[in-house]
Amino acid sequence: MIETINIMLAGPRGKMGTEALSMIKETEHFNLVGCIDRKHNGNSVQDIDGLPTLDAPIYTDAEEAFDRINADVFIDLTNPDSGYNHTKLALLNHIRPVIGTSGFSEGQLDELRELSTNQQTGIVIAPNFAIGAVLMMRFSQMAAKYFPNVEIIEKHHDQKLDAPSGTAAKTAQLIKEVRGSKRQGHPNEKETLEGARGAEVDGIRIHSVRLPGFIAEQEVIFGQGGQTLTINHHSSNRQSFMSGVKFAVEQVMTIDHFVYGLENLME
């Protein structure tokens, strides 16, 4: 018999949070034990319009929630500031975090890595839960060995708060690991309009598009004498992320260290 995993979630009314609650409800060995929301203190999830019929208390005070709720895993799907604070609280309370929230700085990731080590508590931070996106990042890393000239275009809905996306930042990091530092474009190039060449991570240009109509898409474009190679991933709904959230919740129960990216948990 599979053991039940008790889950606490922050951001239940959000686009991802609502989808994650439905996934929890449909998963026999997952049990929602509480939520952190900015509204509805003292209510049960099932009393809130539009949320699945799950009987779990809502807290607006995160510290109170971590004091009172006895969970195995904490899922955060909020925003960078709240997500970072919640993640620290979860680790301090030895509740294993599964973090989908994007936009953490390198310094914040380092602090969470250190806290996870000190607390000997497993944590999974996944820039993208869609398995296709994880493969797109890995294929990009493979291609960069042979095609070191590369730029990234990420396209998201216009409600997204952070830019560049966590996925684009992680892709750049993976590429950097295999190709080293390289400034893309002409050495003497000059922007006559600031931002025209996008953001830069270790020489890799990242261009962020924000438009209604998109959910999440990324193109990694490689160029070399006479040829281009484009690796593209497209999420057309938020269900695309849920098998990855489920996988991360199951996996985080088996580790006691910091993991950044689902690829580190896949065979």
Ligand X SMILES: O=C(O)C1=N[C@H](C(=O)O)C[C@H](O)C1
Q: How many residues bind ligand NDP (CB under 6 A)?
A: 23
Q: Quote the CA–CA distance of 56 and 59 in Å, as a whole number.
A: 10
Beta carbons within 8 Å of 231's beta carbon, 6+ residues apart: 136, 139, 140, 143, 219, 220, 222
Q: Are 188 and 152 in contact (CB under 8 A)?
A: no
Nearer to ligand NDP, 44 or 79 (CB): 79
128 appears as a binding residue in the annotation: yes
Q: Does 10 bind ligand NDP (CB under 6 A)?
A: yes
Q: How far apart are the first and last CA of the chain?
A: 24
Strands 199-201 and 216-224: unpaired
Active site residue 160: yes
Beta carbons within 8 Å of 213's beta carbon, 6+ residues apart: 157
Residue type, 256: D
Among the listed residues 5, 14, 23, 144, the single contact to ligand NDP using CB under 6 A: 14
Strands 227-235 and 96-99: unpaired
* Nearest approach, Cβ of residue 261 and ligand X (Å): 11
Active site residue 156: yes
Q: Is the dihedral of CA 172, 175, 180, 182 positive or negative?
A: negative
Neighbour-count burial of 127, counting CB atoms closer than 10 A to its CB (0-12 exposed, 13-18 middle, 19+ buried): buried
3-state DSSP helix/strand/coil % of the chain, to nearest 5: 35, 25, 40
207 binds, among ligand NDP, ligand X, none (CB under 5 to 8 A by kind): none
Among the listed residues 73, 143, 216, 245, the single contact to ligand X using CB under 6 A: 216
x/- string (CB under 6 A) for ligand NDP, residues 95-134? -----xxxx----------------------xxxx-----
Q: Does 167 bind ligand X (CB under 6 A)?
A: yes
**Which of the following is catalytic: 88, 160, 182, 234?**
160
Question: Among residue numbers 56 through 95, which ones bind ligand NDP (CB under 6 A)?
Answer: 77-79, 82
156 binds, among ligand X, ligand NDP, none (CB under 5 to 8 A by kind): ligand X
Q: Does 15 bind ligand NDP (CB under 6 A)?
A: yes
Among the listed residues 121, 140, 141, 165, the single contact to ligand X using CB under 6 A: 165
Q: Quote the CA–CA distance of 99 and 77 in Å, as a whole number.
A: 7
Span of 162-170, 203-211, 244-252, 259-267 interacting with ligand X by CB under 6 A: 162-170
Neighbour-count burial of 111, counting CB atoms closer than 10 A to its CB (0-12 exposed, 13-18 middle, 19+ buried): middle
Q: Does 171 bind ligand NDP (CB under 6 A)?
A: no
166 appears as a binding residue in the annotation: yes
Looking at beta carbons, which residue is closest to ligand NDP? 14
Q: Give the binding site for ligand NDP (CB under 6 A).
A: 10-11, 13-17, 36-38, 77-79, 82, 100-103, 126-129, 241
List interacting residues with ligand X (CB under 6 A).
102, 127-128, 156, 160, 165-167, 216
Q: Enumerate the active-site residues.
A: 156, 160
Residues annotated within the binding site are 11-16, 39, 100-102, 126-129, 157, 166-167
